[in-house]
Every structure is written in structure tokens, then in C-alpha cells.
Structure 1
């Protein structure tokens, strides 16, 4: 037996057999992967199903809880604030129509609007307090001046018409056409600031349809301010008053400030025979 024969017996199989075996081994890998994927697929869908069922249970429980909370009625209403002209019972009664929705469904904006429509209420704040209470804080109107024959003005120039009470009759009177209240209140407050160092106060402030402004001070002195340059004219009055009018303030009837560089002053009684009026220049 030759060397070649011994190699054939003990050696590797023919090349064709080796290739076939290799192809068989390689072809088995995709089939195993596919089989493993099929085994995993049911568990993935089962997990997704569990997640969906859990989410549904949570949503159902949340919806039931929401419906339950919606059905809780308001059991207590607390009213706070310094109430001098408004009764707490009247505040509670005013909001009853807005409580139909229960604790969570109560219309707080509507309540606030209804309360602020009451004559003496300037501002209302409403808050929910768990589990079934409402807290209402009320700020009452503070009259700064009388407006016309039956109204009052607050610090913002807002007009309100409560029942007239004698305690407010001493307030200054502001008069003007409809819609002029906020601007006139701003002028009134500026007038108070400028007159305070002179120890003078305002009894009446009026603006007419043409925008002409006149003021009457507590001593009866009348200031004619015109329709423009309000601050400049008042500064001129302050200067003239300090220099010339203060010693004779009780005799001054009228000060016309509509001049470009001076004022016209009318006196009730002159200490000496003079004209009934004079012009003071700066």
C-alpha cells in the first residue's frame, strides 16, 4: 500500500462532503433563531396586554373618583374681611346659586362677579378648601368722595351707588359728565397732594362738558383751573398763595389761574378802597 492510499484512509473526507456538511451547519442557525423568536413572541404580547389592562383599571378608578368628588356638595362657607356695611350672611346668600356644581364644579368666577356687583363690595377672593369648604375674603368699598346726588367714588375713581348714609355727607363732592369720574378722581388726589403743605382742603371739584375744571376749598375760596396745564397752574397758585394770599386767605373769593403768567384774584372785602379784583404776576 502506497503513501497516497494511507492518507486517503486516515485523512479528511473528500472536499464535496466537507462542503455539504458545512452548508448544513450554517443553515441550522436561522432556523434556530426563528424558533426562539416564536417562543418569545407570546410572552411579549402577554406583557403588553397586562399593561393595557392595568391602564384601563387606573383610568376607570380615576374616573370613578372624579365623579365622586364632583358630587361632593359645599358644606361650609367662611367669610373674612373687615365688613362694616355688608353682612356675612348676605355674602353667603349671594353665592348660593353658583353652588349647584358641588365642591369642584362651583363656578368661582361667577361667584366673584356676583359679589363684586353688590354696592359695598370692592373686591372678592374665593378659594376652595378641602374637603368641602369655600373661603371668601371681601374688601369693602372705601368712599373717597361723593359723586353727584346719590353716588360715591372709590380710590380708583369707580362709581358705586349704595344706600346713602349720613356719615359720608362730609366727604368732598365731585361733579362731572358721565365717564369723567376716573380722570376727575386722579386730579382730585393730585390737588390734595399740592394743597396739603398749605393746610388747604377741597370741598368740591367739578369738570363741565368742555373740560373746564373748578375747585372750591373748605374756606369757600374758588379756584378756576381751566381745561389744560393743570399741574403748572396749581404750582403757580401755590407760589402766589405763599407769597401774597396766605395772610388774607379768609378774604379771597376767587382765584383765576387761566392766565399765561399770572392770576386774577377777587376779594370779599378790601382793607383799603381799591378795585374789587387785581392781577398778581409772578
Structure 2
């Protein structure tokens, strides 16, 4: 073999290629560790272009920046994304490099819709549960009330949107939507009235109950000068009505209406 020139040339070329590759790799490794490539700027911006309302320099400096390691080449973008998504009010973060020493971080903030249950969590307009400073949220938003079994957040949000659309026909809007542990629905409206719908037995149950309620509600409102406190729709062919007289606040009465 050692007398075969072609084999010797091939071995020599291979060794030379390995040597050159090792030199180049070492040089690149040495270059990317130079201080000139240290991160100098991290620009934080809104993913949608609007002003960030709740994420500020103080929270970024205290929570995100201590968890960012490496330079322009070695920084782990997924790790940076995770560091920013740990900041309160941040729903989602995306990160990109910008030559030669900058990271650009685009943030999407949570948009709270209401309070979820009694544990201090908020429900966002996209059906996410999150936790922030409740006093800050209550100061900036007119929060609704929601509750339901664990994992039912998006279902409750979807029903809320449907209730908004349907009750708009009688100039009312939901202020509270509850889904009980037995999966029974109830809604409190902006006039203080609560409507009990009960469980959905089929796909069209809620539509049937809403159609019935919207049909009879104007008649109920005209029939009484009292404040309607509660409407119970959990009857096959009617409803139960609870009213409170305007004068003595404690005077309540309940009656049933057949449909």
C-alpha cells in the first residue's frame, strides 16, 4: 500500500482537509468569543405595533435579562424567548438576531377580559388563563366574571361571545358567565338579572333556550314594573320568574310562566 502513489495522495489530502477544517473551526470559535460580538442592545417591541401597556424596562431588567447568556452567535434564542415569556403580562415572545450585536424581541401582551373563579386568575380575550397583579388589572380594565371546571376556559369564552351576540337583541350584555361543575350554564346581565339555562342536553339546546327567552322577554318586561331578578329556563315548556319590587328591596316573589 505504501508504494501506491494514488492511495498515499488520498491519505495526504484527507489529512490536510482534516487539519484545515480543525484550523478553521478553531478560528471561528476564537472569533465568535471576541468581545466585539457581545450583545450590546436588546430592543423590545410590541408584536402588533401598538404600545406595550404593562411590560416596562424595570420588569425586563429584573426578570428577563439575568437569564440571557452568550453573545450574538452563541445566545440560545429559545432560551431568550422563554425568559421573556416569564415576564408578567407577556403571552408570547419571538426573538431574532440583528447584525452585529442586537437582539430584537417582539412581545404580545395578554388582553384580560375578566376574572376567572376565586383564585385570582384572569381570562384573556383568547381564552388563556394567566396571573398578574390584580390591582393593576382592575385599574386598567372593566373586568367581567367567569368560572368553570378546569380546562373549560375556551368553552366558556365561546359561550360568552354567543351570549353577547344573542342578548344584544334586547339591549343587554353579559357581565358574568358561569359553568358549574355539573356543566350547567348561568349568565348575569348588565341590568342585574340572572338567567339559569341548566345543562346542554344536545348541540341545539342553548339556541332553543335563547330563542324562547328572547321571544318572551319583552312581554315579561311589559307585564311587571318590578325588577326581574332571576329567570330559570330549566323547564321543558316554560320558565320560572323571580322579581323584586322596586320599593321594599327585600320583597321578592317567584312565579312560573308556561310557554
TM-score per shorter chain, which class? 0.7 to 0.9
Cα offset for 1:198? 2.6
Is 1:261 matched up with 2:233? no
Distance 1:91 1:42 in 2: 65
Tell me if structure 1 keeps the 8 A contact 2:117–2:147: yes
| Corresponding residue of 1:79 | 44
Match of 1:120 among 89, 96, 100: 89
1:214 Cα deviation (Å)?
1.4
Contact kept in structure 2, 1:200 and 1:218, CA below 8 Å: yes
State the distance in 1 between where 2:162 and 2:31 align. Answer: 56
Whether contact under 8 Å (2:63, 2:87) holds in the other structure is no
| Alpha-carbon separation, structure 1, partners of 2:87 and 2:68 | 18
- Larger radius of gyration between Structure 1 and Structure 2: 1
Determine the C-alpha separation between the residues in 2 that align with 1:218 and 1:179. Answer: 26
Q: Which moved more, 1:130-139 or 1:146-155?
A: 146-155
Q: Does 1:206 align with 2:183?
A: no
Moved more, 210-219 or 91-100: 91-100
TM-aligned CA deviation for residue 125 of structure 1: 1.1
| Alignment correspondent of 1:64 | 27
> How big is the shift at 1:137?
0.9
- What RMSD over aligned residues (CA atoms) do the two structures have, in Å? 3.0
TM-score (normalised: structure 2): 0.76
Shift of 1:269: 4.8
Alignment of structure 1 residues 221-236 onto 2, 5 Å: 221-228=193-200, 229-236=205-212
Mapped to 2, the partners of 1:98 and 1:106 lie a distance apart of 11
5+ long unaligned stretches in structure 1:
1-37
Q: How does 1:53-202 map to 2 (within 5 A)?
A: 53-54=16-17, 56-70=19-33, 72-81=37-46, 82-149=51-118, 150-163=120-133, 164-165=135-136, 166-168=138-140, 170-202=142-174
Q: Secondary structure at the match of 1:74?
A: coil
1:165-184 alpha-carbon deviations (Å, 9 max, x no partner): 34256321113344443332
- Larger helix fraction of residues: 1
Work out the CA distance in 1 between the residues paired with 2:62 and 2:78.
16
In the alignment, the residues of structure 1 paired with residue 189 and residue 10 of structure 2 have an alpha-carbon distance, to the nearest angstrom, of 87
* Change in 2 beyond 3 A, CA 1:215/1:267: same
1:23 is aligned to: none
Q: Bigger shift: 137-146 or 225-234?
A: 225-234
Tell me how far apart the structure 1 counterparts of residues 83 and 258 of structure 2 sit (CA, whole Å).
55
1:215 aligns with 2:224: no
Given the superposition, is the C-alpha separation of residues 171 and 69 from structure 1 closer, same or farther in structure 2, using an over 3 Å criterion?
Answer: same
Give 3-state SS (helix, strand or coil) of 2:235's partner.
coil
Please identify, of 127-136 and 69-78, the stretch whose mean Cα deviation from structure 2 is larger.
69-78
Deviations 1:49-105 (A, max 9, x none): 457525642452144214422553212100111211120342244333333232222
What TM-score comes out, normalization by structure 1 length?
0.71
